[in-house]
A = this chain, B = another copy of it.
Amino acid sequence: MDNVKILLSENEIPRKWYNLAADLPTPMLPPLGPDGSPVRPEILAPVFPMNLIEQEVSTQRWIDIPPEVLDILYRWRPSPLRRAVYLERYLKTPAKIYYKDESVSPAGSHKPNTAVPQAYYNKQFGIKRLTTETGAGQWGSALAFACNLIGLECKVFMVRISFDQKPFRKLMMQVWGANCVASPSSETNAGRAILKSMPDTPGSLGIAISEAIEAAVTDGSGQTRYALGSVLNHVLLHQTIIGLEAKEQLKKAGEKLPDVVIGCAGGGSNFAGLAFPFAYDKIHGAKIKIVPVEPTACPKMTRGNFVYDHGDVACMTPLLPMHSLGHTFVPKPIHAGGLRYHGMAPLVCQGIVEGLFAPKAYDQLKCYESAMVWAKTEGAICAPETSHAIAATIDEAIACRESGEEKVILFNYSGHGLMDLAGYDAYLSGKLTDYVMPESEILENLAKLAGMPKAEARKTGRW
C-alpha cells in the first residue's frame, strides 16, 4: 500500500515563520511614496498597525509565531501532505507527486494562515475593525473567520464578478459576522468614481483594494485598519508555515528535497508560502525548479514589466517594485478570481529577477481540463486558482514520463472548489472560453506606466 497521507502532530507544527528577505542575494527595492522617495514605516500607520509594519520591513530570518495564533491554527494545522498516487497511476509517470492540502481550513483555502495573525496583531494593537477586499471570496471569508474568532468587526469589498458568481462566499462571511458588499460600491469615493466611468465593470482586486483602504483611513475613530490577503511581505511571511510543514513531511515520507515546487500565483501568497522555505535551499545550493503559475488572461509575471507600480487603481498604496500589467488593468472575467490581479508580490518578483523562480502561464480551458482529471483521479474538486498549479504539475509529470526521470514534484493545493462550481458548470456545458491577453492590450497598459519611477532589476545572475 502506498502512503497517501503524511501527517504531523500538533507538537510538530513550526513555531517560527521564515522570512526570505533575510536570504535574498540582493536586497529588496524599497516601496516608494508619492514623491518618489522610500516610504518611511510611519507613513503606513493609518493603514496597518505598527506591529505588522515592523514585520513588513523586517529582514530577520525567523520570526516567532505567537502562541495565541498557534492556538487557532491548530484547528486545522499542520495540514496534510498527500501523495497523488491516483493521478500518478493515471499519468503513468515515474514522478512522485506530493501536494500540501490547504483546502482543509474552515474557510477552504490557505488564506486563514495569514488572516489569523493579521487579526491577532491588530487586536493586540487596540484595533476594533478591519476592512479588506476579496477576489474569489477566499480571502474575505478567511478574514471574516479570523475576525470572528479573535473578536474584531470585519468589512469586505468583494469584486463584483465574484460577488455575483459566488453568492455562497458572501453567506460564509455573514455566518462569521462580516459585512460584505460588491465592489465597486457606492460607499467610497473610489468606488463611486469607477461606477460613474465604468458602470458595467466586473470589478477588479485593484479597485476593491482602493475602496477597502479608503474605508479604513477615512474612519474617524482611528480604530479601523486595513488587511491585505496577499502581495505584502508580512502576508507571505505568515504563509511560510505551509512550506515549513511540507519540508518536515517530505522527510517523514523518506524524500530529500523536491525537484520541482509549484504554486498558482495571483498576488503570490500561496505560492510563496510553499516555495520560500525551498527557495532557501536553492539559494544555498540545492537544485530545485520553482514555478509560480498564472493565467494567460492576467500574465504579469510572464509578459508584464518589472516596474514601480501602485497596488490599487486609485493609487492609494505606495509604489511597489513588481511585475505588473499596470494598475488600471481590469482582467477578463476568468473564474479564477483570485488570480485576477495586475501585480505580483515584490518578494516573488525579486526572486523572478534573480532567476530563483521560473513563472509559467496557463489558459483557463487547459486548467479546467486538469481540474477534471484531478476530480476523476484524486476524487476532489479543486478551486479554479488551484487548477493552474495542477495543470503545471501534470505537464511536469508527463515530462518525467517521457524522460523517465523519477522526480519529486510538490505543489500547493491551495483550496477546494466547492464554492466555485459555476466555473465547472460553464466548462461542462461547453461555455467556457480562453482569454489570452492580446499583445496590443499589454503594450497599451504598460505604456501607462511610463511616468513611474524606474525599478532597476538587481540580480546576481546565479540562477
- A: which residues have CB within 8 A of B? 1, 3-5, 7, 9-10, 67, 70-72, 74-75, 86, 104, 106, 108, 145, 148-149, 167-168, 171-172, 174-177, 372, 375-376, 378-381, 418-419, 421-422, 424-425, 428
Contact = CB atoms under 8 A, between A and B. Distances in A.
Nearest to A176: B375
Given A4-B74, A174-B428, A176-B375, A108 B148 contact: no
A343 to B, nearest CB: 30
A106 B7 contact: no
B74 A372 contact: no
A172 B3 contact: no
A377 to B, nearest CB: 8
Contacts of A3: 10
A168 B148 CA distance: 26
B376 A148 contact: yes
B149 A106 contact: no
A372 B4 CA distance: 34
A175 B419 contact: no
A285 B5 CA distance: 37
Question: Copies per complex?
Answer: 2
Contact of A10 (B4, B71, B145): B4
16 contacts: A1-B10, A1-B71, A1-B74, A4-B74, A5-B10, A5-B74, A75-B86, A148-B376, A149-B376, A167-B421, A171-B421, A171-B424, A174-B424, A175-B381, A175-B428, A177-B376
Contacts of A175: 372, 375, 381, 421, 424, 428
Contact of A106 (B171, B177, B380): B380
Q: Binding site of A, secondary structure by majority: helix, strand, loop or mixed?
A: helix
Max chain B Cβ within 10 angstroms of own Cβ: one of A421, A425, A428: A421
A72 B145 CA distance: 32
B418 A172 contact: yes
A424 to B, nearest CB: 5
A421 B421 CA distance: 14
A375 B148 contact: yes
A75 to B, nearest CB: 6
Contacts of A425: 171, 174
A234 B5 CA distance: 28
A104 B106 contact: no
Contacts of A9: 7
A273 B1 CA distance: 25
Nearest to A378: B75
Nearest to A3: B10
A421 to B, nearest CB: 4
A145 B176 CA distance: 30
Max chain B Cβ within 10 angstroms of own Cβ: one of A7, A86, A145, A177: A7
Contacts of A378: 75
A172 B421 CA distance: 7
